[in-house]
């Protein structure tokens, strides 16, 4: 059993020293650890402290192309988009997607929402819920619908650290993840889901991806928390898309369909 890819890594383009390394350093680390594929997925544009800036994307693409010349490993350009409203909006527009090979999405603090009402009723409300370790039934339902709507509105490949800092009804989210062919991440740093919730996703037919969520080059490929969960729960190899194989993401599938 071997992990062949890491699809959730951050670089210095996640600003203010949130990401510590360069793209070249992340790619080199992945290559030295025997990975066959890596994605550079810095924080989305509405993350006001740490988000990658749209004006930096051409340089990000250039850095990726240069790294691919140095190391025999496939490098994808992505972004970890932010869930920014209870309606399922994320901080990606069509022109952004044109540049991306892969799209991740999760809930994060310090994001700019779509309105003042959403800022207080969705973003800040979830921060308070996390702070006081209590999420009301109403808020959980709102969060659940946000993820469901996002998966149906956007071509999201991976939901990151589900149930961390934004509590949901995992079963309902999992049903739509299965419907939309969206992968559920088993995060190498934090697992918001219980073993029971992970097994619920599995029993409903979801596929998983194990990622590092690395914020420094030395952590690329360090997926021990997610890997331990998969081994502990005896998840079959074929439901982990980066075990012993490499997946085909939505944009690649669209391109193949158009060319056939």
Digits of tens for pLDDT over the chain (260 positions)?
589 999 999 999 999 989 999 999 999 999 999 999 999 999 999 999 999 999 999 999 999 999 999 999 999 999 999 999 999 999 999 999 999 999 999 999 999 999 999 999 999 999 999 999 999 999 999 999 999 999 999 999 999 999 999 999 999 999 999 999 999 999 999 999 999 999 999 999 999 999 999 999 999 999 999 999 999 999 999 999 999 999 999 999 888 888 87
- Is the CATH number of domain 5-259 3.20.20.140? yes
**What per-residue confidence (pLDDT) applies to 258?**
84
Domain range list for the chain: 5-259
Cα–Cα distance for residue pair 116/138, rounded to 1 Å: 19
**Tokens standing for residue 61:** 């693409």
pLDDT the model gives residue 1: 53
**Residue 2 has what pLDDT?**
83
Entry field: residues in the chain: 260
Secondary structure of the chain as H, E, C letters: CCECEEEEECCCCCCCCCCCCCHHHHHHHHHHCCCCEEEEEEECCCECCCCCCHHHHHHHHHHHHHHHHHCCCEEEEEEEEEECCCCCCECCCHHHHCCCCEEEEECCCCECCCCHHHHHHHHHHHHHHHHCCCCCHHHHHHHHHHHHHHHHHCCCCEECCCCCCCCCCHHHHHHHHHHHCCEEEEECCCCCCCHHHHHHHHHCCCCEEEECCECCHHHCCCCHHHHHHHHHCCCCHHHECCECCCCCCHHHHHHHHHHC
């Amino acid at each position: 059993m071997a992990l062949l890819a890491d699809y959730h890594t951050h670089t210095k383009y996640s600003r203010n020293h949130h990401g510590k390394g360069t793209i070249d350093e992340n790619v080199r680390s992945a290559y030295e650890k025997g990975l066959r594929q890596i994605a550079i997925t810095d924080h989305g544009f509405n993350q006001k402290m740490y988000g990658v800036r749209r004006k930096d994307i051409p340089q990000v693409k250039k850095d990726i192309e240069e790294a691919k010349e140095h190391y025999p490993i496939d490098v994808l350009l992505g972004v970890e988009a932010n869930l920014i409203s209870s309606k399922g909006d994320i901080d990606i527009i069509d022109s952004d997607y044109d540049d991306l090979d892969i799209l991740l999405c999760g809930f994060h603090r310090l994001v700019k929402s779509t309105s003042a009402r959403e800022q207080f009723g969705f973003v800040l409300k979830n921060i308070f819920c996390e702070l006081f370790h209590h999420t009301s039934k109403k808020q959980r339902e709102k969060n659940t619908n946000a993820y469901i709507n996002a998966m149906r509105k956007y071509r999201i490949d991976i939901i990151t650290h589900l149930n961390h800092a934004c509590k949901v009804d995992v079963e309902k989210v999992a049903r739509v993840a299965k419907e939309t062919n969206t992968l559920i991440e088993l995060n190498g740093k934090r697992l918001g889901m219980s073993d029971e919730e992970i097994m619920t996703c599995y029993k409903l037919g979801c596929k998983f991806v194990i990622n590092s969520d690395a914020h420094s080059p030395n952590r690329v490929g360090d997926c021990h928390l997610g890997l331990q969960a998969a081994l502990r729960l005896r998840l079959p190899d074929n439901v982990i898309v980066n075990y012993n194989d490499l997946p085909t993401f939505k944009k690649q599938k669209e391109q193949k369909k158009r060319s056939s």
